[in-house]
A and B are shown apart, each in its own frame.
Chain A
Amino acid sequence: MTESSQEEILELIWTIDEEKGEVERDSLIKKIRLPSAEQILNTLIHEEYVTISDSKVALTKKGLADARVIIRRHRLAERLLHDVLDVKEDAMDSSACKFEHILDEEVTASICTLLGHPVTCPHGKAIPPGECCEKANKEIRPVVMPLSDLKSGDEAKIAYIVTKYHGRLDRLSSMGLLPGVQIHLHQRQPTYVIQMGETQIALDTAIARDIYVRLL
């Protein structure tokens, strides 16, 4: 297994690649901000985590698998801190960085289950799914879950909204359906009807799946 500084670099390569689609060697070295950056990178190349061609850095299959695990832990940690522990944004980042090195596979899976197998981090970036997500057991009710999994009569607070569609997000938010708002699920059939304050709102399944709530 890699050391934590190596883990940080793998994580960095993943993030840059996710944002820009490619990783320049020189800009990577600059971003590492460690005196031994070159050296660690060479170790990674030597141990076949990373390859370099045309001064572009890429993860090998082995490196990719490791980076994926680290990213997953980091972003799950962020979700945990943000949604459940209600930690402020600045503190969240630094704590999540420490978390990612100490979590083992089992604890990660438990956190993931607890959070209801979230798909994105609080910044909106994708969380790579783990084994537990695929096996997600519907019978155990996680703390945070899509609105579509609530039973009618449940009270819940909106935790976050994840959707591919801008328009949907705008429509929900202009109606006042935003994180932190308390809702009551009135009925599930024929369509979902929720009560928010004194307003009753009908919405269809596709939208209900995008609204993640914390059961009260």
Chain B
Amino acid sequence: MPVSEMNRYKVALVGNPNVGKSVIFGLLTGKYVTVSNYPGTTVEVSRGVCNGLDGGVEVVDTPGANSLIPLSEDESVARDMLLEECKKHVVQVVDAKNLRRGLLITTQLAEMGLPVVITLNMWDELLDRGMNIDVNVLQEKLRLPIIKTIATHRVGVSALFSSIPNAKVPNLYVDYGNFIEEGISKIEKILQGNTTVNERALAIMLLSGDSALEEKLRKKLSDHALDEVQSIRNNIQAHFGSPLSYVINIKRANYVDAVVEAVTSNLKKEKETHPVLRKIFFYFLMPAASFFMGYKLMALLMYLISSRLPPGSVFASLLPFVVGGISSIWFSLHLYVKEYKAKSTIAGILGSITMHPVAAFPLLVIILWTVYKLVGEFGAGTCVEFFEEKVFGRSLIPSGGFDVSIYIPFVQKSYVVTHVNFQGFNYYLGLLAQKLVDKDNIIFELFLNEQSGLIRVGLTYAIAIVFPIVGFFFLAFGIMEDSGYLPRLAVMVDKIFKRIGLNGKAVLPMVLGLGCDTMATLTTRILNTKKERIIATLLLALAIPCSAQLGVISSVLGRVSGIYFAIYVFVICTQLLLVGYLSSKVLPGAPSDFLMEIPPFRMPKLSNIFIKTFYRIHWFLKEAVPLFMLGTLALFVATKAGLLSFVERMGAPITRNFLGLPEETTHGFILGFLRRDYGAVSIFKTLEEKGGSAGIDPKQLLVSLVVITLFIPCLANFLVMIKEQGAKNAFLMFAFIFPYSVLVGGILRVILQQFS
């Protein structure tokens, strides 16, 4: 039976941060939105259609909010959506083990008078923790459908599906006491007929001092009416020592506490890790892992000073083992004493270690090293080389094919299975093209030119270089996100980030920036103040190299020497802290609070990570490939028109005299604006050619890579900066970064010369 237009409604997903709204959205609509174990993953509303429901209704996913009285930009999104003028059913997603916090929102939905269905999600985690909720009693109390779900395992989703049409206004009513209730009814009269939801809800928001809502109402109400609201609020406030919003929250919490008390019970049977697994963990896994940690840490330190160590010294080769042993004993004893008897679960222990005041830092180094091995060495080294040299190849020279071989670990031998005689896509394309046009023809050059051909350079770089690096980075990032490691990282860096005008929360955009600055600039929205968003955007543009760039840089510098890579990291980190510190002093505004929920440490679900990585790569390719092509085209035109050599001549004196680099590298810096890694590759190639048989000059390489890292952000990032911060701020940042990066490079060159 077709549903008449009158009955059409939207479904809105609402709930606290990190309760699984996006997973449920995906299940209802079949549309994928990024899901992770990190509060604040969703910063924008996503819309989809649920076909199974009443002939297709629109479903809206909103960013998580702890209160419908918004405190940050992403929180206001949920509230604004609920105030929109249309019929809607709310699906409130509640983390079953945190019922109290969920019901705080339900009371607000009840005040709005919206029909609600509640899903108690993560029901399994509730049971694991030895708790139970009497759903029948709760359902009777609230008089609306309540569904138990485990969304990541698709449990309970069909029940949720069929209950959505039966949504009811929650039977909750908080009495705020005489003074406030009187004020509410006065404001209700003023608002009469001007609201899309119940006046009571808006009256309470106004009493709480919701200035964003006041702005919205300014359009509908006279100034006089708003002044009246103001005076009512002031009169009530006079009766209370604490801010009204706080008084209201306390009343609401007391009301909710009573409800929660009535429905929850403790089974006193917390799920424990299997004893055998525990023994393996405590007696084998932990000592082994901590030994490896100590060993690797010492080895990494020694790598940095390898040139100073006498070769073949017994002391040097024993040192890592000694440090590994110490680390193993320390960790094992510490954990055994503290956790073995406490019967904590393994996930719980890992969750604590990853933010332990001492142990977390060596662990961080090891995790970074692992990510580097995966992204920097395997992704940016092995895979890129294979794709670039063998799969794509050159347009005029055959690549010579490659061997398919099986590598046997530990013995370090590999057996060649077969040789594939494939000369590279570009080579075959080149052959084909030469049948049609001459290789000096402009058309051939446009597509297959070795320096600026759309296919030979643009497409090859996008797919062969960027794709493997970014892919592996997103994979690593996904694991860190879903295990719950990222928010723990926020705990660790909070103190340092405070110094640069940010707080621990900013770790998400910063780490994501190591993947793609453009994407990261969008997530700066989770930060609370405008000041923080500006600082984070500036630092992303200035000092955070994206994975593509970092991959190229680390593989290039790593080949030259460990100490140069260390200097590079040191210089970039110093700049990050220095510029952050200065801008936090210069920009007006108070530092914002670090108050963040830490999700439980979970075993990441592989399928989710792969899907997420797939969608992120998809997004990246959609974004990057056209820009690569555009950039290459611009480069081609600029080369042919002689524009490039003109800019190069302009920039050459600075490059040559101030930075001490060959003039040709100017070319690379200009390319850096199109894609940062693109510039880095170009500079490396130029320096390699210039160095000739003598090899590359590591000092020149270091200076040029520092400059290209700090240099102006890529075009895509710049466009997002304009979108998020406005053209004025974006251009101001641009104007600062450009000369500043060159200045740092110049200073670094002088310092390096002093030490040679």
Interfacial residues, chain A to chain B (CB-CB below 8 A): 120-125, 161, 165-176, 178-180, 186-191, 193, 197-204, 206-207
Contacts and interface: CB of A to CB of B under 8 A. Distances in A.
Contacts of A179: 250
Nearest to A176: B101
A170 B245 contact: yes
Residue of A168, A173, A178, A193 most packed against chain B (CB within 10 A): A173
Given A166-B243, A169-B242, 19 more contacts: A123-B240, A123-B241, A161-B246, A165-B593, A170-B249, A174-B67, A175-B101, A180-B257, A190-B491, A191-B495, A191-B504, A197-B100, A198-B95, A198-B131, A202-B596, A203-B594, A203-B595, A204-B594, A207-B593
A125 B97 contact: no
B66 A201 contact: no
A187 B242 contact: no
A190 B494 contact: yes
Interface in B208-246: 208-209, 240-243, 245-246
A167 B70 CA distance: 10
Contacts of A186: 352
B503 interface: yes
Contacts of B97: 197-198
Residue of B71, B352, B495, B596 most packed against chain A (CB within 10 A): B596
Interface string B478-499: 0000000001001111110010
Contacts of B245: 166, 169-170, 173
B678 to A, nearest CB: 38
Contact of A168 (B209, B253, B593): B593
Interface in B601-639: none
Contacts of A187: 352, 355-357
Contact of B593 (A176, A189, A206): A206
B59 interface: no
Nearest to B492: A190
A175 B17 CA distance: 10
Given A178-B250, A186-B352, A171 B494 contact: no
Residue of B104, B240, B594, B599 most packed against chain A (CB within 10 A): B594
Contacts of B249: 170, 173-174, 178
Nearest to A195: B598
A169 B246 contact: yes
Given A125-B241, A174-B69, A199 B101 contact: yes
A173 to B, nearest CB: 4
Contact of B104 (A168, A169, A176): A176
Nearest to A200: B598
Contacts of B598: 193, 200-202
A176 B66 CA distance: 9
B242 A191 contact: no
Contact of B490 (A120, A166, A168, A202): A202
B66 A174 contact: yes
B139 interface: no
A171 B514 CA distance: 30
Contacts of B253: 173, 176, 178
Nearest to A170: B245
Given A123-B241, A169-B245, A191-B504, A201 B492 contact: no
Contacts of B492: 190
Contacts of A201: 595-598
Contact of B100 (A123, A176, A188): A176
Contacts of A165: 593
